[in-house]
Structure 1
Amino acid sequence: MTEPAADPSPPALRPRTRLALALLWLALLAVAGWWIAGQLELSGDLRRFMPSARTPAQKLLIDELGEGPGSRLLLVSLSGADAETLAAQSRALHARLARDPKFALVANGEGGLESFPERLRPYRYLLSPTLDAHRFDASYLREQLQARVEDLGSPAAALIEPLVPSDPTLETLALAEAWEPANAPQRLHGVWFDHDGREALLAIQTRAAGFDPTGQQVAVDTIRNAYAQARGKTHGAILLSGPGAFSVDIGGRTQHEAGWIGMVDSIGLLLLLFVAYRNWKIPLLGALPLASAGLAGLGAVALLFEGVHGITVAFGFTLIGVAQDYPIHFFSHQRTGVAPWASVRALWPTLATGVASTCIAYLTFFVSGVEGLEQLAVFTIAGLATAALATRFLLPALVDPDLRDPAASPRLESLRAWIARVPQPRWSLLVLGVIGIAIAAFAPGPFWQNDLSKLTPVPTDALARDAHLRTELGAPDVRYVIAVQGSDIESVLQRTERVAARLETARAQGGVLDGFDHPARYLPSQRTQRQRQARLPDAATLRSTLDAAVAESPLRADVFEPFLADVAAARNAKPLVPKDLAGTPLQVRVDSLLLQRPDHATALVSLNGLLAPDAVARIAAAEGAQLLDLKQASESLVVAYRERVLWALGLAALLLAATVWIALRTPSRVWRVLAPMALSTVLILAALRAVGVELTLFHLVALILAAGLGLDYALFFEHAGDDREEQLRTLHALIVCSLMTLLVFALLAWSSIPVLRAIGTTVALGVLSNFVLGLLIARHPHKEPA
């Protein structure tokens, strides 16, 4: 390869001018960062990274259950003190959180009657199932009044006496008991405890959706702060479980690991650049294009999308890490006697080909139909393009034209000479590729990992603890749910009542399920309410019947005027509908199980202790409902997501090959560039499968990054040609690039977070294999001077 031609570019700037321009660039980045921060709206909704739902279960999972009761339920246990102290802590914690608007429901077993608001008490006869089996005739009222006389002589008199005048049949207590959670835990000192009496239990439902990690973090922090105040100087400990608590724990661990990994990376990269170039300015100058790339990616996503997902930011900064290679190539090829503009211009065709190819690969994400991947593509493309253009048109003005030439290094020459003696493989590459494909295809165990739960770094003991708390609290099953769908609220409530009747029969017979919950338990259909209204006697009949029943008891008839007024109000009232529950605890319970859309409604029947899914599925189908397996739905979403990504990768491979062909135009040169990347991909897959790794979506994203690195390495090895000094400079640049990338991703490979570990392991393997294969395949034999 020949030296760059005489450079017509402006002469090199003085050191002070270069420093001033560098500071100006840094200032512009600071201003851009301030502006972007004001425009940036971070989102934590994981549904942005999921494909369009197709099946009913998928639609329920994505569109509705992300904000449903199961995903928003936090299970809390208080321990470490005697039962009386724990009960006091539970009551104090309940009192603090019940007033907090961040929580839709705080339940610890106390205050059962508070769930029945005063303004709704006249409607208890429309909500209670009593009138389904009884009438307010003389016989029934006589029986009830006799029972109240006995109650007033019992230890429960203090609770019963205030209710008798308005509620002699105790419908209020019947409803409060019916609205208790299914399989409610035991009560000690008025609050819930586990069966051993060692832990006070609470069930807390957040208003933040399950797909909102930020909202869940705020909720968890609020609970912990409230507990610290409620505990005071007493002993005790709090434990939180549930999807939200797990996501907060994972987020905290991710942030912690990202912090120390980032610190080690930064120190290591600065030291590596200083050792490689023996110039303190190089690490600082190299950071400018990379910072520009990050801000450009953030700005592009902020402008084109309504909200930027946190995963986009995290993945994006990882993926544009390849942009750090651009200034390194420039620094390694710069030397005394050649103007920086000439050096970068000679590199530009190769650099531009690599950038274009990588951007084309990410453009294919736009055919995935997944907004999160589209954001990732915009972030990466904008970032890489900005870093490349900054390296081409801005960085040369800041670089010292008298940088030490890496080609003058004796050690580097010794390494190049040793490499030159290594024979370049031919047919052995084909054999290696066939072996790799065979290992990847026939290694034992599943090829793909579809179970999202296995991607969550929740310790086994924490999962066991969560299962224990769910059993103690009777929390709903988070896998199965019955969906009753219809055109409006009334139709789905009527069908839900029929499903509930069948489920109750199956529960009573045993062996099917332990319990269930549904919206009609709290808000019966209007048809049921009207039927109960019809069974209420008119005012004159009820007064006459009541007088006859009171005559046979020691009670006075005039005491029951409030009862007569409530029955009259219930008889003439319009049936309750969901909007009538606004502002009450019942609204929370109904809204979590009754999902409304403009032209559609869905009632959810949550299940406890499901033992026979097939039997429950038949019960649901008999009423036109459906038992949904949300685990299967999540796995089918993963499969659909993967299929789209694989199609995108296939298209990217074709476009990438076409781009390289257009740039190089020679079959042998195209082969030398594409073969290392293709073979490296096969070997990465073989290595992962050989050690039993089941591949995930994160491995696929990492393979794209590894392929981009491989393309970059091969292009520059091929670009060096057979010129000895150019080969030395290219070898220096690629050693620095690969060591920097290997440091970053090797640390990620040690992470306890499956996502980071998958990406780190895959890319680290890719760096090693792409560098070695690039040397073996893409480099030209060295031509000694005549």
Structure 2
Amino acid sequence: MTNAGYRCLGHLWLGVLALCALWLGIMLRDGLPADSDLTALLPADRQAPLVEAADRQLGRSFEDRFLLLLRADERVAATQALGNALEQRMAEGTLARLDWRALDLADRDPRDWMGEWRYRLLTPAWQQAIDADGGDTLVAPALRRLFSPTARPEPVADPFGMTDAWLARQPTSPITARDGLLTLDADRQHDGNGERFSVLIGELADSPYAMGSQRALHETLTRFEQAHPDAELLRSGLIFHAGAGARQAKREISTIGAASLLGVLLIIGYVFRSPRVLAQLTLPLLAGSLFALTLTLALFGRLHLLTLAFGASLIGIAIDYVLHLQCDRAVEGRNFTLRRLLPSLTLGLVSSVVAYVAQALTPMPGLRQMAAFAAFGLVGAWLTVVLWLPRCRLRASPFTARFAARWWQLCQPRWRPRPWLAMLAAAALVTICATRLESDDSLALLNPSPPAMMQEEARVQTLLEQDTGSRYLLVRAADEDALLTRLHRLDGALDAAIAGGLGIDYQSLATAVPPRAVQQANLARVRKLYGAPLDRLIARAGLPESTADAARARLDTVPTLDLEGWLATPLGEFGQRLWLGETPAGDVAAMIVIDGRRGADTRAALEAIAAAEPQTRYVDRVSRLGTLLGELRRQTAAWVAGAMALMALALAWRYRRRAWRVMVPPFGATLIVLALFSLAGVPLNLFSQLGLLLVLGIGLDAGIFNVEHARRPSAWLAISLSTLTSLLAFGTLSLSATPALHYLGLTCLIGLASVWALVPWVRPQDTGPDTAARAHARPPSPHQGALE
């Protein structure tokens, strides 16, 4: 290429960066559209879309709302202070609703809005009593209730009190009204200490992952805790977990990224002894980050905070290209030519990008974004290095050439292992991996919440006697009545299992809304009860005979209770999360949420109950997502193997008999990582395998330069510096509190150190014009900027 064409490409790339800066400014005019939802790492389960819909339905109340429990010596005053502070946030638009006073959740008496439905609703005990003797055993309790000072008798509408008996069986909230506040008494849950909490229930105006909502709520609660140090405040809600993850990601971006950059700058400053070189080295990093940020936002619309944390490690790879160019220019002096380095730089870029493309091919949206950001950043840094850095004329310190020579001599292997010994060691490592390597697909890999917050969440759920809906039976049927019939049969099977010792509880729509046939049978039972037993009750109570006639007259027009009517009632709101409604297949679906004991026996019993009923499936969300992670881990393993095979073929085509020298560092480092994990009992997971992809890309880069420029001290210095900077970038991720980043960083820490250790042992020993002595044939020029 002519110098004119080269300059034209350089100006074209500068124009692209200018457009990126303009476009990025437009996209960021309202702030960075960041996302902290860790579940974005998981793909949708296309094999079970209805299960995905059920998961979303059950999690919606947990996502859109939050709950606070406050215990303080001056409970009323403290609750008022917190409630007023949160209401100010509601006025600002952060919250859509806040309930904390007794009047906020006041409803009419259920007996007022149940209307005529009550005659179709009977508990199993009442059904058995009426079937046994027509209801004679119910007369005495009803008589006591009619004259009880604490009861609310209804001689005409409900002389036997069947409504109260039925309501007592429905799930109710432990939250009561006391001192004008929503209150929860811990002793009701057998907590043993008789603590009393005020309850504040908030509904978010925005997504729980919205950074503004997280920050506003966190600041409000922090200020309250500082003003009331003796108060105990318990939190429950997705917004708190998402906020903790976002704050942690920000801390890691600032600490890991800053520490990595500082370490890189100190090392580069020591080797090159020039602040101007430091400034030059940051130019590709800035250009690559600008290019990556712009294109990633354009493609995905939002930027995940994990992408930023992962992108901080881009420093370690993008600087490789600069280091190879600057080391060669500092050592070669006037003999420096970009043309000699260009094939190696290009192969290095391709090998790294191939590793990221393999990551981008996984079906995980969050990982695709991380891979795209890194690949775009590397391409942007490479173009800047190739098109602009050779133009810069910088004075090279003589120390760099002397240091390169001394480092070359210091790192020469004193002996080389025989091939049979190396093969034996490799066989031993393979045996260790095959016999001892374990895997971990736990969902905890995606959980950034600190243990204290998880314990606090568990305590709140225990106090509220609630379950987040992680286990349920998914039930389908042709229409609503068929669904209720199926739910009713499942309720009976669950009741039988519980009576047999299965330690669970459940929530089902059929508990409140029986099937039409059951409602008809219940109405027939009530007619029988309103015969002779009603006459005896009226006579013993001394009520007029007309009371019995008025009561029987109410049975003439009794509407059937359906799901739509029930879910519209105040009590029915508790069951709305159980109703999926019409499915894409045209039928209807609902869930029965399971709470209580876990374990293999419980799971087997619930799966057996589900298998006995058509169109019923038992779902354990935690187990299912863990299975999904396992499938992705196996897919990623296949991509790692495929990337290795593809690069092996490409390298064999270019390097022929010397190809093994390029492949041993990355492939050997991968084997060392797996063997050390096996010996240390560290399980392999999805994110460890993503780290192996990065080791593969960076290791191939080192192997390529090790063969292309085998006897050049400048190449070995650049390999050492690039490996060290990559260790700083990726190895520091092992300090992350986010399990996903921790395992990725730990893999890279071991793998990259292994790459650096293996490179000298496979370096070609042939000599010729490309020798160490040639590096000192001519002193470096005061000004270096030649393209040729």
TM norm structure 1: 0.78
Q: Which residue matches 1:411?
A: 403
Moved more, 589-598 or 342-351: 589-598
Q: Equivalences for 1:551-700 in 2 at 5 Å?
A: 553=541, 571=557, 573=559, 575-578=561-564, 581-582=567-568, 584=570, 586-592=572-578, 594=580, 596-599=582-585, 600-610=587-597, 612-613=601-602, 614-624=604-614, 625-662=616-653, 664-668=654-658, 670-700=659-689
Contact persistence 1:49–1:373 (CA under 8 A): yes
Counterpart AA for 2:687:
F
What residue in structure 2 maps to residue 431 of structure 1? Answer: 424
In terms of mean alpha carbon deviation, does 751-760 or 118-127 score higher? Answer: 118-127
Question: Residues 667-721 of structure 1, C-alpha deviation per residue, up to 9 Å, x if partnerless?
Answer: 21x2221121111111122222222211111111111111111111122222224
Cα 1:45–1:54 change in 2 (3 A) is: same
**1:488 and 1:116, CA in 2 relative to 1: closer, same or farther beyond 3 A?**
farther
Report matched runs for 1:761-776 at 5 Å.
761-776=746-761
1:576–1:751 Cα change, 3 Å: same
The 10-residue stretch of structure 1 (730-739 or 698-707) with the greater mean CA deviation from structure 2: 730-739
Please name the residue that 1:53 is paired with. 45
Q: Report the equivalent of 2:326.
A: 331
TM superposition shift of 1:661: 3.8
Q: Distance in 1 between matches of 2:84 and 2:546?
A: 41
Distance 2:252 2:108 in 1: 44
Q: Which moves more between the two structures, 480-489 or 673-682?
A: 480-489
User: How far does residue 307 in structure 1 lie from its aligned partner after superposition?
Assistant: 5.5
The CA deviation string for residues 457-493 of structure 1, in whole angstroms up to 9 with x for no partner, is: 6666765665555444433386543232334444332
In the other structure, the counterpart of 2:784 is none
Q: Deviations over 1:431-460 (max 9, x none)?
A: 3322322333334xx511122236746666
CA apart distance, 1:496: 1.1
Whichever residue aligns with residue 573 of structure 2, its letter is Q
Q: Distance in 2 between matches of 1:560 and 1:216?
A: 63
Alpha-carbon distance between aligned partners in 2 of 1:140 and 1:111, rounded to the nearest angstrom: 41
Separation in structure 1 between the aligned mates of residue 225 and residue 431 of structure 2, nearest angstrom: 62
- Whether the 8 Å CA contact 1:296–1:382 is kept in 2: the answer is yes
Deviation at 1:104, TM superposition (A): 9.9
Amino acid at match of 1:296: F
| Separation (CA, whole Å) in 2 of partners of 1:488 and 1:220 | 45
Which of 93, 98, 114 is equivalent to 2:107? Answer: 114
The corresponding residue for 2:505 is 515
Question: CA–CA distance in 2 between the matches of 1:593 and 1:213?
Answer: 23
Higher mean alpha-carbon deviation, 604-613 vs 490-499, is at 604-613
Residues 128, 174 of structure 1: 8 Å contact kept: no
Q: Which amino acid aligns with 2:575?
A: R
Deviations 1:485-515 (A, max 9, x none): 33444433221111112322333x3521242
Instruction: Give matches, 1:387-398, under 5 Å.
Output: 387-397=381-391
Change (3 A) 1:542 1:179: closer
User: Retained in 2: the 8 A contact 1:76–1:238?
Assistant: yes
- Residue 754 of structure 1 corresponds to 739
Number of residue pairs the alignment of both structures matches: 750
Aligned counterparts, 1:243-322, within 5 A: 245-246=240-241, 248-305=243-300, 309-318=304-313, 321-322=316-317
- C-alpha separation in 1, matches of 2:159 and 2:223: 43
- Return the letter of the residue paired with 1:604: M
Q: Does residue 238 of the first structure (1) align with residue 233 of the second (2)?
A: yes
Could you say which residue in structure 2 is the equivalent of 1:729? 714
Instruction: State the distance in 1 between where 2:205 and 2:486 align.
Output: 27
CA distance 1:408–1:700, change in 2 (3 Å): closer
Contact 1:103–1:204 (8 Å) recurs in 2: no
Distance 1:587 1:542 in 2: 32
The 1:209/1:591 distance shift into structure 2, 3 A limit, reads: farther
Q: Aligned partners of 1:339 and 1:126: how far apart in 2?
A: 100
1:294 Cα deviation from its structure 2 partner: 3.0
For residues 97 and 171 of structure 1, the distance between their equivalents in structure 2, rounded to whole angstroms, comes to 45
Matches within 5 A, 1:108-187: 114=107, 120-122=113-115, 124-125=117-118, 128-129=121-122, 146-151=143-148, 154=149, 156=150, 160=152, 173-174=164-165, 176-181=167-172
1:73-118 C-alpha deviation (Å, 9 max, x unpaired):
8675544548888999999999999999969998999999738779
Residue aligned with 2:441, SS = coil
In the alignment, does 2:477 pair up with 1:449? Answer: no
Structure 1 residue 64 corresponds to structure 2 residue 49: no
Shift in Å, 1:11 = 12
Cα separation, 2, equivalents of 1:387 and 1:535: 81
Q: C-alpha distance in 2, partners of 1:43/1:764? A: 28
Amino acid at match of 2:477: G
Structure 1 counterpart of 2:702: 713
Tell me the distance in 2 between the aligned counterparts of 1:636 and 1:735. Answer: 40
Determine the C-alpha separation between the residues in 2 that align with 1:739 and 1:778.
Answer: 19
Could you tell me how far 1:360 is from its partner in structure 2? 2.5
| Per-residue deviation, 1:765 | 1.7
Cα 1:420–1:734 change in 2 (3 A) is same
The structure-2 alpha-carbon separation of the partners of 1:579 and 1:442, relative to structure 1 and needing over 3 Å to count, comes to same
Q: Secondary structure at the match of 1:404?
A: coil
Q: Shift of the alpha carbon at 1:334?
A: 2.8
What percent identity do the matched residue pairs reach?
21
Cα separation, 2, equivalents of 1:94 and 1:505: 46
Cα contact 1:75–1:201 (8 A) shared by 2: no
Tell me the amino acid that sits aligned with residue 431 of structure 1.
Answer: L
- SS of the counterpart of 2:501? coil
Q: 2: CA distance between counterparts of 1:105 and 1:328?
A: 57
Q: Secondary structure at the match of 1:409?
A: helix
Higher mean displacement: 638-647 or 621-630 = 621-630
Confirm or deny: 8 A CA contact 2:34 2:211 kept in the other structure.
Answer: no
Name stretches of at least 5 consecutive residues in structure 2 with no aligned partner: 778-788
Q: 2:85 & 2:107 partners in 1: Cα distance? A: 17
d(CA) in 2 for partners of 1:142 and 1:93?
54
Amino acid at match of 2:639: A
Deviation at 1:170, TM superposition (A): 5.1
Which position in structure 2 is the counterpart of 1:191? Answer: 184
* Structure 1 contact 61–633 (Cα < 8 Å) conserved: no
Q: 1:253 to 1:506 in 2, by over 3 A?
A: same
Deviation at 1:606, TM superposition (A): 2.0
3-state DSSP of counterpart to 2:28: helix
2-structure distance, mates of 1:60, 1:575: 26
Which region of structure 1 is more displaced relative to structure 2, 349-358 or 465-474? 465-474
2:225, 2:231 within 8 Å by CA — same for their partners in 1? no
Cα drift, residue 351 of structure 1: 0.8
Supply the AA of the counterpart residue of 1:437. Answer: V
**Of 498, 522, 526, which aligns to 2:489?**
498
**Distance in structure 2 (CA, Å) of the matches to 1:596 and 1:382:** 43
Superposed, 1:31-42 pairs within 5 Å as: 31-37=22-28, 42=34
Distance 1:298 1:111, change over 3 A: closer
